[in-house]
């Protein structure tokens, strides 16, 4: 076993004699085109012969440019993630206030805007509010609330919130035939 390990190590060292010393520009000039492209794109100080490569691609003159670009991209991703987290936190705060019965008019207006903008969670919450009789318009009509709950659940379902199908199936039989026809007409027009 030891002899095999020693033989493998010896073969690796014999196969790559250049690893023992430093690389010269002449060594890299004799490399294949893929190796040259790799060296030109990742070498700390780009060798002069990189400009002579056929089908040359834009290569940064130093790794510093590459690192600066990566840093900028990371900062942009972090800023986008922070903005998304703030939106989610604001939405969760609205949801908590609405479910606790402490929502103000501005909370409901924000929720309606989010639902109309196509956010599935907001649509689902709108449907839940109508199903609970917490209509944003305070009209207090239970039949209209059921129909609106179904419509908002349907919009959320069509937007990708497949978990609302169970709620839709519970509401549908409670709608009278006229309401069902109105709902069908609404979805036929929008679809």
The answer to whether residue 23 sits within a structural domain is no
51 within a domain of the structure (yes/no): no
Q: Is 39 helix (H, G, I), strand (E, B) or coil?
A: helix
Q: Is residue 74 part of a domain?
A: yes
**Is 158 a domain residue?**
yes
Q: At residue 98, does pLDDT exceed 50? A: yes
The range of the structural domain enclosing residue 146 comes to 63-190
Q: Is residue 6 part of a domain?
A: no
Question: Is residue 154 in some structural domain?
Answer: yes
For residues 135-148, average pLDDT = 72
pLDDT at 118 exceeding the cut of 80: yes
- The fraction of the chain above a pLDDT of 70, given in percent, is 66
The listed range with the strongest mean pLDDT (60-64, 153-157, 185-189) is 153-157
pLDDT at 75: 92
Question: What are the helix and strand counts (H, E) for the chain?
Answer: 9, 0
pLDDT for 19:
41
Name the domain count of the chain.
1
Q: For residue 18, what pLDDT is reported?
A: 42
Residue 111 has pLDDT above 50, yes or no: yes
Query: Got the DSSP string for 137-169?
Result: T----HHHHHHHHHHHHHHHHHTT-GGGHHHHH
Percentage helix, strand, coil, to 5, in the chain? 75, 0, 25
- Whether 22 has a pLDDT exceeding 50, the answer reads no
Instruction: Return the minimum-mean-pLDDT range out of 40-49, 102-111, 138-147.
Output: 40-49
């Amino acid at each position: 076993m030891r002899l095999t390990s020693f033989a493998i190590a010896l073969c690796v060292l014999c196969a790559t004699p250049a690893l023992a010393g430093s690389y010269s520009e002449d060594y890299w000039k004799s490399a294949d085109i893929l190796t040259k492209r790799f060296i030109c794109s990742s070498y700390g100080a780009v060798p002069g012969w990189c400009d002579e490569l056929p089908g040359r691609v834009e290569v940064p003159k130093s790794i510093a440019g590459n690192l600066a670009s990566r840093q900028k991209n990371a900062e942009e991703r972090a800023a986008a993630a922070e903005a998304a987290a703030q939106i989610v936190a604001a939405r969760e705060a609205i949801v908590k206030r609405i479910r606790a019965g402490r929502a103000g008019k501005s909370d409901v207006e924000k929720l309606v805007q989010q639902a109309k903008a196509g956010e599935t969670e907001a649509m689902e919450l709108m449907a839940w509010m109508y199903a609970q009789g917490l209509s944003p318009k305070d009209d207090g009509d239970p039949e209209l609330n059921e129909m609106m709950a179904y419509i908002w659940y349907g919009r959320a379902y069509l937007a990708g919130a497949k978990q609302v199908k169970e709620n839709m199936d519970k509401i549908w039989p409670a709608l009278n035939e006229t309401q069902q026809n109105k709902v069908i007409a609404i979805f036929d027009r929008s679809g």
